[in-house]
Each structure stands twice: as structure tokens, then as C-alpha cells.
Amino acid sequence: MSRYELRGREPYTVVVVGWDRPLSSFFAQVWDERDLEFGNPDDEPEPLLWAGCRAGEIRTVEHLDRVLSPYTSLSEEIRERLSRDRGGVNRTASRPE
């Protein structure tokens, strides 16, 4: 599993994205940092967005970017990293003959 943290468009939003190999899906979480810092310690903060929790839900970086569009745009660097992370799934190890 890969995981990257970045800032959202609003200064208080934190965006977490990555590739979940067992689910064969990209995932995204968007958190309001104010809830994390000032919320009741007994309450579990709820994400503003949580996507990619089901098998095959988000299969492309482009789809992930569309899901995140209200909160952020993925940089080219993050898009490339995510593509590489997903690309490793289909590689097969060579066997000695």
C-alpha cells in the first residue's frame, strides 16, 4: 500500500491518497484539520471524504483526481508516483529456467 499526504485547496484540509493493492483501488481521504486538533478527544473525527474502500472502486489516477476535484488537484509528481505504485501490481517475477 502506498500513502501520500498533501494539502487541500482550503488551508485546513488534509488529503491522503494512495494505492491499496489488496483492493486493487486507489483511495482518498479528506480531513478537516480543525476537527483533528480541536475536536472532543472522546469522539472519532469523521473524514469529509473517504473513497476507494471497495475492491476496484477507483482504478485510474484520472478517476481519483475527479473524485478529489472539490478538495484538491493532484500534482503531476503525485500522479506519476501513484501510477508507478499501481503499475507494480501487474508485474510478474521472472522464474529461473
Enter the pTM of the model: 0.82
* 97 part of a folded domain: no
* 54 part of a folded domain: yes
Quick one: DSSP state of residue 92?
-
More confident residue, 97 or 87: 87
User: Cβ(73)–Cβ(59) under 8 Å?
Assistant: no
Instruction: Using alpha carbons, select from 49, 53, 19, 14 the residue that is nearest to residue 32.
Output: 14
* 93 part of a folded domain: no
- pLDDT mean over 65-93: 86
* 59 part of a folded domain: yes
CA–CA distance, 29 with 23 (Å, rounded to integer): 16
Residue 76: which domain range?
4-88
Query: How confident is the model at residue 81, as a pLDDT?
Result: 98
pLDDT in tens, 16-58: 999 999 999 999 999 999 887 766 666 778 999 999 999 999 9
* 42 part of a folded domain: yes
Query: How confident is the model at residue 39, as a pLDDT?
Result: 60
